Structures are given as C-alpha cells and as structure tokens.
A and B are shown apart, each in its own frame.
Chain A
Amino acid sequence: MSLALQTRGLTRHFGDLTAVDAVDLAVPAGSFYGFLGPNGAGKSTTIKCLTGLLRPSEGEIRILDLDPLADPVGVKKMIGVLPEDLALFDRLTAAETLGFVGQIHGLSRETLEQRAEELLTLMELNRRKDSLVTDFSHGMKKKLALAVALLPAPKLLFLDEPFEGIDAVASRQIRNLLKSYVSRGGTIFLTSHILQIVETLCDQIGVIQHGRLIAQGSMEEMRRGTEDGRTLEQIFLELVGAEAEASAALDWLT
C-alpha cells in the first residue's frame, strides 16, 4: 500500500509550547483520513506544517513522494488546501478568486470556466459570483475556499474543518462530492469535530491530543478490540479520556 502522505517525528514548537510533538502520520493513497482531536490539540498546526505554511521545527515529511521542504512548488501543484483561516482575498470577487487560482495552476481558459461554473453551482454561489468575498457570510466564504481547493483537481486534499458552519444541504452535497473524489482515487486528509460525519466518510482515523498522535489506523482497526456497535464518538471520548464528563456539574447554572 503506497502512502500519499507520511511524516516522521513531525514537531513544531511555538516558543515553549510544543503544538505538534513527534507525530508519525501514515495516510494511504486513496484513503479518506479523519484527523481528530480536542480543541488546541495541534490539528491545524499539523496541516499548516504539511502544506508549507509553517516550517516544522523537526521531522520529515513526504507528500506524494516529494519532500515539500525541498520542492515546495512541486508539492503545491498537486495538493488542494482548505486552511483554518480560509485564505481568500477580501477584495476579489468569487469568480476572480477562482480565476486567480486557475491562472497560477496554468489551467486553460475553457477548463477554468467549465470547472469554476460547476463548482460555483454546486456550492450555490453562482448568483453571487461577482460579489466581493468580503460581503460573503462565513459559510459562503468556506464554500468558496473549498471550491478554490478543488479547482486545480489535486491528488491530495487537506481540509481543515470543512463542514463546520455549512448548511445541511450544502454539507450533504459536499460529502457526496468528496466521497466520489476518493472513489476515483483521490486522497483526503480532513479534520472535523462532527464525528457522525467523520464516521460515515472516513476509512482511516488519526487521533491527536496535546500534540501527540495517540492512535492511528483504519476504522476497523479502531473498532477492533472493543465491543460491537460502538460509535466513533464513544471510541474518541475513551481515547482522549473524557475528563470533562465527570467533573464540574456547574449546578449554579439554572
């Protein structure tokens, strides 16, 4: 089984804080990888290191058999990213944003127009394609950022919380789209706090807590050894040790 993404000892410090601590990821090609963890666990930091936004303090990365530190442009040509802060120009329109990305990726005019139209229709942004991004709602911005990630037809997608803040209709359509993308051979590395969605979509799971990877494997491997019929949520809570559950009743809160 070839790996689309592999890290060894990936570490990132912020001053005294170690946000990502010796993480060894292994994402098989053609898999739908769910990267889970509590708030502040280091998921977004990991994605930023993998996509070249942050320089890792230590460790090695291989993406699609390339070293992103040695050949950043080569890697970026093959990946699509939906980052935490969405990464959109406020003062470009939706159409111009897609045009910008298409031009950088060297798409021909026809390809660009056809893909952009399809993506905007899917995201229900077609009517607003000539509005400035700054006038968009948060959900609309996220859908546009997702369209930006998909436009160059990447081989590997990094999606940081793609479903948070998206309406139910769009969420469903996006899920279907992502499923068919994986079935056609694409690889997705996704973080999300909505475990029900992760459970239906992902076949590989990694769990990070306090910067350390505490579990990794296929969905079956995660379920193995536990009694039947346990949900991903139960497994996840068990892994990260649901301390909050027992503590603090907050009984003053009427």
Chain B
Amino acid sequence: MLRTIRAFLWMRWRISRNAFKTRQRDSLEQISRALGALAPVFMLLMLVPTVLALAAGGVFLGWKMGQAETVMIWRSFGFLALRGGLAVATITVLIAPMVRSSRGTGSETTRLLLLPIRRGMLHASEVIAALSDPWLGVLFPALVMFPIGIAIGGSVLGGAVSLLGALLFVAILMLAVSLASFFIALIFRKRKRAERFTAVLIVVLSMSGLLFALVGDEWEEGLEKKRDAKRFGVDAAEQAAEDDPDLTLSQHVDQQLPFGVRFLPSEAFMRVVEAAVDGHVAQLGLNLLLLGTWTTLLYVSSRWAYWRLLETPETGGVEGNLGAGFRTRSLPGVRPAVAAVAFATMRLALRTVRGKTAVYLNFVITAMIYVILIRELSKVELPSGLSFGLGIGFAGGFFTLISLQPIMANVFAIDSNGFTLQLLSPLSTSEILHGKVVGSALLVAISTALCFGIGFVLDAKGSPVVWLAGFLILVAMFLVYAPMTLLLSAVFPKVADLSRMGKDGNPQPIAGFVAFIAVPLLLIPPALTAAATLMIAKSGLLTLAGALVWLGVAMAIYIVGMRALCVLFERRRENLLLVATGR
C-alpha cells in the first residue's frame, strides 16, 4: 500500500519534471513551453494571498466565535458569512470540472490499470488529486483554520468537533468534485454522447434565457414580492432575535428558507459548528451523522463512476453514414488544393465539441441576449442608419472571432497526424497557410451569417449602406486577425484535443490570451471611425467609406503578413510537426 503510494507520487513528480526536458527542441519551442507552464504558476502565486487572507479570516472568525462572551453580532455575522461562503464554494467546485480537463482518463491510467494496483487505490488517489483544484485548494486552509480559531478562542472541545466537521465537509467537496468530473468524463467517452450533451446544454442555456425573458414581467413582480417578504422576514428575525436572545440571527433567517436546505452539506457543517460552540449535543450528533451519510453516499457513487470510467474505452461511438462520399468541394476563386485544406480544417472543427460550440453557440447566445434585452433596448434611441438587427449581427461576428480562438490560435497542432499528411502532400507553404485562413473564414462565415440572419429577421431597419459597412468592418478585422492567429499558432503550438472541454482543448495560454484580447483591440479603430461618421457627421456613406479604408489597410496587412508568415512557417515546420504528432 505505502509502496504503491510512493511509486505513484514519484511517477507524478517525474512526469511533471520531465515535461521541462526539452533540450532537443529549438529554443522558441522551449520558451513557448516554459511560458505555458508558467501561466498556472503565475495563477498560483496570485492565489497565495487569497489563501492566506481566507485562512486568517477563518482563524479570526473561529476565534471570535469560540469566545464564550462573544457579542451576538459576531456570532450572527460569522454564521452568515460561513453559510454564504460555503454555498457559493460548493456550487463553484461542482461547476469546475466542466471547464477543466477530465481526470482519470489519460493513457497513463491505462498503464496503471495493467499494474497490480487495487482500483480502490487509484480511485482514492484521483479523489485526493481534487485538492489540486484551485477552488478547493483555496478553501481547504480556511476551512481547517476556522476550527483552530475556535479552539484558540477558548472552546477547545468545540474546535475539535468543528475540525471533524470541516474535514468531513472537505471530503464531501472532494468526492463531489471527483464524481462530477468522472461523470463528465464518462459522458465525453463517447463522442456522439458528448456532442448530444453539449447540444442539450446549449438548448437548456438558451431556453432558460428565453423563459427568463418571456416570464420576465411576472418574474420581476414575483421578485419584488419576495423581496418585500424577505425584508419582512429579516425584520421579523431581528425582532425575534431581540425578543429571544438565545436564538441567533442566522437561525431566524433559516426559518425563511425551505426545509430541505438544511440537508445540504454546507448547512450541516454550519450546524455542526454552531452546535459545537453552543454545546447542543443532539444537534451536533444529528448533523455529524448527516455529513457522514453524505460522505459515504458520495464515496460509493464516485467509486462506481470511476470504475465505470476505467471499464469504458474511449470511442467515437461508431458513426452512422456521414455520407459525404468522395465528393470534393471547390470554392469559387480558390485553388483546389487550398480548398481541400480549408474544408479539412472546417470539418475538423465542425466535428468536435469545441468547434461546434464555437460556431453555433454565438448565434444562440446572441439571439438570447437580444430577446432578454428587447424591452430595455426599445427605449434606446439609435443614431440614424443603425439598427438593433445590425447590432446583433455585428456582435455575433465579433464574438465568433473570440470564440474560435481554440481553433484559430492553434490551427496547426489541432490537426495532429493530419498535419503530417499536409506536409507530405504537394502543397506549397502558402497553400497550407491560405487553406487554414480560408477554413477559418468558412467557420466565421457560418456563425456570422447565422447571426446576421437572425439580426435581419428581428430588426431589419437601418440603412443598407451601414449594414454593408458593419459587414466590411468584420471582414477587415478578420483579415488582420487571421494572420495574427497563424503567427500565434506557429510560435506557440500545443497538442490539443478539440473534443475535450477544458484545458486539454485549449490553445497554449499565451496564444489564447493574445488572441482573446486582440479582437476588441482590432475593433477600436474601425469602431471609432464608424461612431464619428454616424454620430457627428451623421452620414451612412461616410461610414461605408471609413469601413472601406480600414478594409484596404487590413488587406495590406494581410498580404504583407502572409508573406512573412510563409518564411516563419518554413522555419517552424519541423517543430510544428513534432508538436502536432505529440512529441
């Protein structure tokens, strides 16, 4: 058992250490990898003060609450802070696996499965690894320091019992986050299922938005009423607290919440602390039992999910007929070889979860935002020539550029072995690069066309000249953005799997970040011109002229940029190949 743990820790350490052994790679690649590795370290450094502050806050709160003669206000404040904080923490921790790469799924796990290690051990190590989750990592010290504070405050026994409660609560969070990530990994094991899951997620998101908008009025009224009730409730609670000093404020707030809430782990933990400080043995026992039950339940189910995960191979879930046959497609004005590369890039994107969300989600979200805001927007006076429909289309195009960043900012490495095929084919460098740009352009075009379409349907007002100008500004932005992202892809390639949510599918952090902030920056100059011409000169034609000027500038940048990129690509091709094929 101990031997296994030692071997396990050693292996993890060696793997992370060897990641830096890139002596045989060119220096640019070494820098790229170092920067990629530094990004999380940087994040961690920023987290340290947070952790320290939270831990200190925990001690302080505990200390205040542990003192026998603590003033009412401190007790109330302490418990409220605890409850709110813990509830928020629980939710965040559960959402985290969605945006993080799934654990327990790598080829490393396959290797481990072949060795004589008990599955229970593997499961335990995966659960403990949940502590490396930043959210949990931040929370853990604060949770542990809090009971210590109580002990320092004078109530040693209370502190000890609270510590037990805190440890159980942390265990529950760890198990819950593991269960969630195993579950998501299980869903993503089958590509088809992953896609369906994502589609459902998108639909649910948009439906909830629509519902929100449709029932908005009633909802708002209801909220008002509730708010009144709450205010009344709190007043009553304060009143009652004054009447009955044995009850805390939070106990009264409690009475306003549904009964089921008290079964939540965070609430149970809070009650343990409360009972420990106050010496209510029955409440203490009951809530510790509740925490224990949660731990057991989550342990059993996360173990079940993990074992299922180990037994489920990663499959595409044999696809039906995709039916494209040998049909090759051509694009007007584009060389066949360039079109071939472009369509391969587009298909790759449209057949992965990340690509699908990037292309289709914008359209859904844009429409949703519009529907939600429609009542507020109708009060706004727009400069003549503009319309909300154009705004929707333009915003859609803008967000498309941002959301395509996992594809565009890593456009070579995401092909993995397909990249080798392109290098083996009789393609010139310029054909490969233009193929990539055209492929991205197709993706942007699909998404933007959907957004412009829905914008036009919802509100087709405004002058056609300005609509055209809006579209041209997007084209100009793309013409600068495309070579920029190619540059990032060439300098910072990273193995990425677009069928994964979270970091496994993301581009190299620096590339992703630069691509992300580039889009709003690229918007500034044409947007300023458009604003000036529309609001001051009040001329749609001038707006169009401004857009055309920017289009010209963008074209010049594109042509020069692509020339330079061809040279750069030639220098980087060997390294790109090694990264794409996973070396």
Tell whether, in the assembled complex, residue A76 and residue B418 are in contact, meaning their CB atoms are under 8 Å apart: no
Known: A14-B24, A100-B340, A112-B328. A135 touches B318 (CB 8 A): yes
Q: Are B581 and A95 in contact (CB under 8 A)?
A: no
Q: Which residues of A contact B (CB under 8 A)?
A: 14-15, 17, 51-55, 73-74, 76-77, 81, 83, 85-93, 95-106, 109, 112-113, 116, 129-132, 134-135, 148
Alpha-carbon distance between A166 and B352 when the two chains are bound, in angstroms: 29
B424 at interface, CB cutoff 8 A: yes
Taken together as a complex, chains A and B put the C-alpha atoms of A86 and B582 apart, in Å, by: 13
Provide the residues of chain A in CB contact with B339, threshold 8 Å.
103
Contacts of A53 in B (CB 8 A): 420, 423-424, 574, 577
Q: Which chain B residues lie closer than 8 Å to A95 at the CB level?
A: 324-326
In the complex, what residues of B have CB within 8 A of residue A104's CB? Answer: 336-337, 340-341, 425-427
The answer to whether B326 and A102 touch across the interface, beta carbons within 8 angstroms, is yes
A134 to B341, CA, bound (A): 19
Which of A89, A109, A112, A134 is in CB contact (< 8 Å) with B316?
A: A134
- Whether a CB of chain A sits under 8 angstroms from the CB of B428 is yes
List the A side residues contacting B325 at CB < 8 Å: 95, 99, 129-130
Q: Once A and B bind, how many residue pairs between them come within 8 Å at the CB atom?
A: 128
- Closest approach, in angstroms, between the C-beta of A81 and any C-beta of chain B? 5
Report which residue of A55, A91, A134 has the largest number of chain B beta carbons within 10 angstroms of its beta carbon: A91
Interface band, chain B: 35 or more
Name the one of B24, B352, B421, B423 contacting A88, with C-beta atoms under 8 angstroms.
B421
Q: Could you tell me if A89 and B328 are in contact, using CB atoms closer than 8 angstroms?
A: no
Q: Which of B261-269, B343-351, B437-445, B479-487 contacts A (4 or more CB under 8 A)?
A: B343-351
Q: How far is the CA of A77 from the CA of B337 in the complex (A)?
A: 12
Residues of A within 8 A of B428 (CB): 73
Would A135 and B417 count as touching, CB distance under 8 A? no
> Cβ of A98: which chain B residues have Cβ within 8 Å of it?
326
Contact B424 A86 (CB under 8 A): no
CB-based nearest B residue for A148? B421
Q: Which 6 A-B pairs have CB atoms at the shortest separation, nearest pair first?
A: A89-B418, A87-B420, A15-B24, A76-B426, A103-B340, A135-B316
**Bound CA–CA A135/B319 (angstroms):** 8
For A91, the chain B residues whose CB sits under 8 A away are 347-348, 351-352, 418
1/0 per position for B423-462, CB-CB distance to A under 8 A? Answer: 1111110000000000000000000000000000000000
11 new A-B contacts at CB < 8 Å, known A53-B420, A135-B316: A52-B424, A73-B426, A76-B425, A83-B420, A92-B344, A93-B324, A100-B328, A104-B426, A106-B337, A130-B324, A131-B322
Measured in the bound complex, the distance between the Cα atoms of B428 and A92 in whole Å is 22
Given the contacts A105-B426, A135-B318, A135-B319, A92 and B417 also touching, CB distance less than 8 Å: no
Q: Are A92 and B418 in contact (CB under 8 A)?
A: yes
B323 at the interface (CB under 8 A from A): yes
Report if B14 contacts A (CB, 8 A). Answer: no
Contacting A at CB under 8 A, from B552-583, are 574, 577, 581
Q: If the complex has contacts A91-B348, A91-B351, A99-B328, are A52 and B318 also in contact, measured as CB distance less than 8 A?
A: no
